[in-house]
Amino acid sequence: MKAINVNGSNIFVIFYIKSMETFNLESEKKPSLFSRLELAGLDQAAAENFRSLIEKIKFSNININSELGAIHIDMIASLLTKQENGEVFLQNILKAINHDWQEVEEFLISSTKELDVENIDLDIGANRRVDKIECVFADEAIYDFTLSTDLVDHKDINNSNSYVEKEVFESSLAENNPVLQRYFGYLERKLSGRNYRLIAKEYLPGKNISQYFNEFEGGAEIMLAFDDVACELAYSMGSLYKRMQGKLLEDLKLENIIYNYENPDSDKLACRICDHSGYYEENAEYRSVSQILAQLSSLLTVYSMKADQLEKNKKISQEDYNPEDLIVNYLESFVSELDDPNLEQLLLKKVREVRSVEADERIFDLSDDLLEFIIDYLENNIQN
């Protein structure tokens, strides 16, 4: 109680002071990243061993205190857990990136300047979370990779995208395959009360093809960009089709192909696969060709939408674009990669099979006009 003089009179006022615990600012602070990693299931000894590294972790576009951010904490915890060979997952990834790198553990602790984590999955689909991890060291060396995990704890392991990719990467198909990313490792671990399957792969610079055209800044030059992408995409798909002898991996939509628009003339293919759903189990040759056709059809749809928009804004005229040229560019590049009469005839045979099916029964939405144009082109331009 305290007296306050108001207009010559004393007024007694009672102040209620809440406990210091209520106003204790320390209790209002969010748990540290170190604590969060331990709560996720990171071994205490491992956490202490990598304390200096943990303190240098930065999240570029991730709010780790949000509900959606919790999975990124688990992904970091996975990187610092041990695998069967006694070394932590991150160490094994870095060794896979650079096979000659020795004394990785000591180097990690003493020489890490920064470990930056950026979410790059763009919320496409509902299957996986994908982070880009960039490690910067005292000697200015930079090692980057992607870390992916399933959003759902699949009881059937064959429904796990990460596991399916791991099986492909550990097969003969992945050996020196320029269309695929480099594979750096796989981990299964229980964190935050659920089972995780995680896969580390090469980071591919650029954007997925749909994202590239959606975010393309400029006018009429986008029409030329479509021709470039059509050729580069077809080179990659033709290369994979030849390697797999008339088959492809599943789910090679435009969103799952990265286009290196910043350096398309590098020694690596400009279009490379960043995600897929493994091998086709049934009727693989038919389904693979259907997917090629659907990929081309999707590219044509985006092309037409952009052309209509530019024409409406009077930036181009009808003479400035031709969908048939785009189809021919794709097919020319695809067939040139095959360089095999048997594969060319198989391609034609399967396109004819797709055409013979009623439109509403096809695997993908493909028009008769498109299929007939492609059949006519192949009949006149492939080896007999």
Give me the DSSP letters along 94-123. Answer: HHHH-TT---HHHHHHHHEEEEEEEE-STT
Is the same domain home to 263 and 367?
yes
Of 281, 328, 286, 321, nearest to 304 by C-alpha is: 321
Does any domain span residue 44?
yes
Instruction: To the nearest 10°, report the CA torsion of 58, 63, 68, 74.
Output: 30
Number of domains present in the structure of the chain: 2
Is the same domain home to 193 and 168?
yes
Does any domain span residue 354?
yes
Is the same domain home to 194 and 98?
yes
Is the same domain home to 244 and 365?
yes
Is the same domain home to 228 and 166?
no
Distance, CA of 266 to CA of 264 (rounded, Å): 6
Distance, CA of 93 to CA of 95 (rounded, Å): 5
Encoded tokens for 100:
């000659």
Do 209 and 259 form a contact (C-beta atoms < 8 A)?
yes
Task: Taking each helix axis as running N to C, give the angle between helix 284-312 and helix 341-356, from 0 to 180 degrees, rounded to the nearest 10.
Answer: 80
pLDDT band at 101 (very low <50, low <70, confident <90, very high): low
The rounded radius of gyration (Å) of the Cα atoms in the chain is 27
| Domain housing 122 | 32-201
Is the same domain home to 136 and 258?
no
* The pLDDT of residue 88 is above 90: no
Distance, CA of 127 to CA of 68 (rounded, Å): 14
Last residue of a domain, one of 153, 170, 201: 201
Q: Average pLDDT of the chain?
A: 88
User: What was the pLDDT predicted at 369?
Assistant: 97
> 21-30, 100-109, 118-127, 142-151 — which is least confidently predicted?
21-30
User: What was the pLDDT predicted at 299?
Assistant: 97
Is the same domain home to 309 and 284?
yes
Last residue of a domain, one of 134, 167, 201: 201
Does any domain span residue 270?
yes
* The pLDDT of residue 138 is above 90: no
* The pLDDT of residue 339 is above 80: yes
Does any domain span residue 1?
no
Pairing verdict, β 257-259 and 271-273: antiparallel
Does any domain span residue 17?
no
Distance, CA of 73 to CA of 123 (rounded, Å): 18
Does any domain span residue 83?
yes
* The pLDDT of residue 232 is above 60: yes
Last residue of a domain, one of 201, 218, 238: 201
User: What was the pLDDT predicted at 68?
Assistant: 84
Is the same domain home to 181 and 254?
no
2 membership: H or E segment, kind and range: strand 2-6
Distance, CA of 221 to CA of 236 (rounded, Å): 23
* The pLDDT of residue 226 is above 70: yes
Is the same domain home to 229 and 372?
yes
> 69-73, 107-111, 135-139 — which is least confidently predicted?
107-111
Written as one letter, the residue type at 240 is L
Does any domain span residue 7?
no
Is the same domain home to 322 and 373?
yes
* The pLDDT of residue 273 is above 70: yes
In Å, the largest CA–CA distance within the chain is 113
Is the same domain home to 214 and 353?
yes
Encoded tokens for 362:
């096809």
Does any domain span residue 293?
yes
pLDDT band at 110 (very low <50, low <70, confident <90, very high): low
Q: In sequence order, what are the beta bridge partners of 261? A: none
Is the same domain home to 244 and 367?
yes
Distance, CA of 20 to CA of 209 (rounded, Å): 57
Global confidence as pTM: 0.88
Encoded tokens for 239:
């290369």
